[in-house]
Amino acid sequence: MKTAFAGAVACVAMTMGPALSADLPTKSPLTHISDVTGYFEMSGLAMTRSKSDSVPLFSTAAALGSGDIMRGDQFNMGWAGGAEARGVLKKGPWGVEFAWFFMGNFDDTVNFPNSQGITQAAINTTPPTGYGLGGAHLSFNYISGIIGAEANGTWDVARGVTLLAGPRYIKLHEDFSARGISNASGATFEIDQWKVHNSLLGGQIGARIDFLKAFGQMGSPWILEGNVRGGVFNNQINSTVSATGNLQSAGDFSSTAYAVQGGVGIGYRLNSNIALILAYDALWLDGVALAPSQVPVSPQFFTAGQQGLATESVLYQGAKLTLRVTGN
């Protein structure tokens, strides 16, 4: 009896053994991670910024509204440095990417010495605000900074061509100030200041092209690529005006803004994992509020008037040097 039972067990084991082994996994469930590829970029930026509109800011009393003392486009914003980082993960033709950037402040100061004996000036508010200038001069300062972040889904629609879409956030902060300075002592007796914060949140679409790969040059160590993306944004704007620390007017506004960014770059793959790319990059914003242009839409000081809003366009452009590290 025991012999018959043992034989039956052995027979069943031999019969089911192949079926059972076929159902068991032969690889770790984590091996699918090897299908995911990606790269990381770290970039240094050197960019210049376009001027604000040529609106009158300060005038002599004899030429009210002319801007003969100071206009919005007299600032030379120069160059500023910044950084950008981008991380990309892909599985097959689909992927996701995350990026952020910041620029150091663009900053310029323009002095207007009282060399012509001007004693009475005016701030070009609406209506103008009188400004006594006897024995003094004016110094104007303009500071502007920008940061942003984005997240995109990507699709490799063809060889060397990637489409992308996703949300983006841009913050642009502005500060224009006018200081009244005594010629005799050099002391500041008044500081008038316009501050504006733009917060843009919206969506964008775009494309990235690897030209050499698109034309079949798969094994070349050289890189020639371009990218463009654009979107529509809701811009939440906060604007304040103060005179020597005393709030004169303020306003919160919501407007539609637009952003278009693009660039072209040439690079070289040092090995299978590391590449260096030098590119021209540009970012154009429309529908943003710049601080100097808020002067003409500000109410006359000490009248408790309603703060207005002026929007315009601004262009950032310059060089970008990128280190790209690709995973195996």
Q: How buried is 37 (Cβ within 10 angstroms: 0-12 exposed, 13-18 middle, 19+ buried)?
A: middle
pLDDT of residue 232: 98
- C-alpha dihedral, 27 to 32 to 33 to 38, nearest 10°: 140
Q: Where are the beta strands (DSSP E) in 50-160?
A: 56-60, 70-71, 79-91, 94-112, 120-123, 129-132, 136-158
Interatomic CA distance for residues 141 and 108, integer angstroms: 6
The DSSP-derived string for 143-178 is: EEEEEEEEEEEEEEEETTEEEEEEEEEEEEEEEEEE
Output DSSP code: residue 53: P
CATH assignment, 36-326: 2.40.128
Hey, where are the domains in the chain?
A: 36-326
pLDDT of residue 29: 47
Digit-by-digit pLDDT tens for the chain (328 residues) are: 444 444 443 443 444 444 444 444 444 444 455 688 999 999 999 999 999 999 999 999 989 999 999 999 999 999 999 999 999 999 999 999 999 999 999 999 999 876 567 889 999 999 999 999 888 999 999 999 999 999 999 999 999 999 999 999 999 999 999 999 999 999 999 999 999 999 999 999 999 999 999 998 888 999 999 999 999 999 999 999 999 989 999 999 999 999 999 999 999 999 999 999 999 999 999 999 999 999 999 999 999 889 999 999 999 999 999 999 998 6
